[in-house]
């Protein structure tokens, strides 16, 4: 334990942007056939290094069949909150859930990223017993502990009771219990995040386990039975105060990205598909006079394609939907990055006016029909999926895997790959020809975390100073 706050903690987003660039990236690897344990890959992202864009350490987990997915740190800039009881934490441990197994790995990244090791394993039985939840998903470090959302309730298929959020102690890593006191209308879960000084949380909806574990269920999608609501919570009271339905045709409201600067009371959510026209959409939500509101502020159309270019799931539509599977917001709240996993496009929007996103950059790579190669000439199977932006906003990293059973439905083969694009200060994206990460055989790549924090990790407690 340090005797002073971790130097990677920053009071405001503007200060975080001035921090040194990341030298390492951590990427979750999953083995889709379960023949070997999932793993964590540590990648050298220092352009001056002889091992730039190479995996320099691979850490296998202790069990097979976990399906590593989203993960996060034990502590972040939220520890600087005046409400925190943990002033001397370090951003040291990665909290890595297995979405299929409901097992959680605690990985110690000290004394050096290339020596990361499994510090503790939290078995699913402890989570079931103390929370009644299963299928852990999103991890966020808050002032008083580690928050983990889940996609399933109790029972073998995870449908005995609603999913929710539980708290993990950020020092002992003991499961403490459920977070919600009053969940209101919330009966599905996916992502969540917050504005700490304004004392509210927002959460989104994907699906219940029978709707995603064995792949997308077309009948459920066409009947509009996937998630399509946003939930707003009183963070301290742990109470759902408002629910906004985006419309049943707006299926799968996934990543929520509140503005980083706590002065700003708005954020964004990506919707995978509109079942009436196959569009993807970005929605802006905000609070006005104490009431939360949301509106669709950008749409991305499907791309026509011939039947022989399409997987069986899409052949009846004659088009590829964009499939917005991830979004990320730059630290200065200026640029929103949107992954179009179906059409193979990474979009960059200028969101200086949050309710009027303006497309200002685009890169095509992979895609169901386009199959655009990397500038190096290498084949990128899949499409841009999990996206992570460096603190200074200059580097945009992404991987290609969504979820093993969904990967198999939309793409015939998918070796794990990670790439990076450089972002211009006034907008625009260019792929780095020399950054291409190959992962060990048999693995696919999902979420990435950056050393010292990134744009979907840190929560800030103090406003940025504008010069």
What confidence score (pLDDT) does residue 1 get? Answer: 46
64 vs 98: CA distance, rounded Å: 10
Q: How many CB atoms lie within 10 A of CB 138?
A: 26
Antiparallel, parallel or unpaired: β 239-245 and 387-389: unpaired
What confidence score (pLDDT) does residue 412 get? Answer: 82
Radius of gyration of the chain (CA): 20
21 vs 26: CA distance, rounded Å: 14
What confidence score (pLDDT) does residue 84 get? Answer: 66
The pair of structure tokens assigned to 346 is 């990474």
What kind of architecture, by CATH, is found in domain 13-450? 7 Propeller (2.130)
> Helix, strand, or coil here: 159?
coil
What are the domain boundaries of the chain? 13-450
The closest alpha carbon to 122, from 134, 114, 112, 111, belongs to 134
Identify the H or E element spanning 186: none
Low-confidence ranges of the chain (pLDDT < 50): 1-2
What confidence score (pLDDT) does residue 86 get? Answer: 59
- The region, left, alpha or beta by phi > 0 then psi within -120 to 50, assigned to residue 341 is alpha
- Model pTM above 0.85: yes
The pair of structure tokens assigned to 366 is 């992979």
Integer CA distances (angstroms), 322 to 249, 270, 299, 325, in order: 15, 11, 10, 9
Identify the H or E element spanning 267: strand 266-274
- At residue 212's C-alpha, the angle toward residues 341 and 372, to 5°, is 15
* Pair 339, 385: CB distance under 8 Å: yes
- The region, left, alpha or beta by phi > 0 then psi within -120 to 50, assigned to residue 67 is left
What confidence score (pLDDT) does residue 89 get? Answer: 87
The pair of structure tokens assigned to 386 is 């999990």
Half-sphere exposure of 220 (CA within 13 A, CB side): 17
């Amino acid at each position: 334990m340090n005797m002073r706050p971790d130097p990677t903690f920053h009071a405001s987003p503007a200060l975080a942007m001035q921090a040194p660039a990341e030298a390492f990236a951590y990427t979750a690897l999953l083995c889709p056939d379960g023949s070997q344990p999932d793993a964590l890959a540590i990648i050298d992202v220092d352009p001056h290094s002889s091992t730039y864009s190479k995996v320099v350490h691979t850490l296998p987990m202790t069990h097979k069949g976990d399906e590593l997915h989203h993960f996060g740190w034990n502590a972040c800039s939220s520890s600087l909150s005046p409400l925190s009881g943990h002033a001397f934490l370090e951003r040291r441990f990665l909290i890595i859930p297995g979405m299929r197994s409901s097992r959680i790995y605690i990985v110690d990244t000290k004394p050096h990223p290339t020596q990361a090791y499994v510090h503790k394993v939290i078995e699913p039985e402890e989570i079931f017993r103390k929370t009644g939840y299963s299928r852990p998903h999103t991890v966020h470090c808050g002032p008083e502990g580690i928050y983990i959302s889940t996609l399933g309730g109790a029972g073998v298929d995870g449908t005995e009771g609603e999913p929710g959020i539980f708290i993990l102690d950020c020092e002992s890593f003991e499961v403490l219990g459920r977070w919600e006191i009053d969940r209101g209308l919330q009966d599905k879960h996916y992502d969540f995040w917050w504005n700490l000084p304004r004392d509210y949380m927002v959460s989104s909806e994907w699906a219940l386990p029978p709707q995603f574990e064995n792949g997308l269920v077309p009948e459920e999608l066409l009947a509009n039975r996937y998630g399509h609501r946003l939930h707003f919570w009183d963070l301290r009271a742990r109470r759902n105060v408002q629910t906004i339905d985006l419309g049943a045709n707006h299926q799968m409201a996934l990543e929520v990205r509140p503005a980083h600067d706590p002065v700003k009371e708005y954020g964004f959510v990506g919707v995978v598909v509109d079942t009436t026209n196959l569009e993807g959409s970005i929605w802006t939500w905000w609070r006005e006079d104490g009431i939360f509101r949301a509106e669709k502020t950008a749409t991305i159309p499907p791309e026509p394609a011939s039947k022989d270019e399409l997987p069986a799931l899409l052949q009846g539509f004659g088009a590829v939907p964009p499939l917005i599977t991830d979004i990320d917001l730059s630290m200065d709240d200026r640029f929103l990055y949107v992954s179009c996993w179906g059409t193979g496009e990474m979009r960059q929007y200028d969101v200086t006016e949050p309710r009027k996103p303006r497309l200002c950059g685009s890169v095509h790579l992979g895609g169901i029909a386009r199959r655009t190669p990397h500038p190096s000439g290498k084949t990128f199977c899949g499409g841009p999926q999990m996206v992570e932006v460096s603190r200074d906003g200059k580097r945009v990293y992404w991987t290609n895997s969504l979820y093993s059973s969904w990967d198999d439905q939309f793409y015939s083969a998918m070796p794990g790959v990670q790439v990076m694009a450089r972002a211009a200060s006034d907008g625009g994206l260019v792929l780095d020809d020399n950054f291409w990460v190959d992962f060990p055989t048999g693995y696919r790549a999902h979420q990435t975390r950056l050393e010292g924090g990134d744009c979907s990790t840190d929560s800030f407690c103090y406003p940025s100073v504008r010069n």
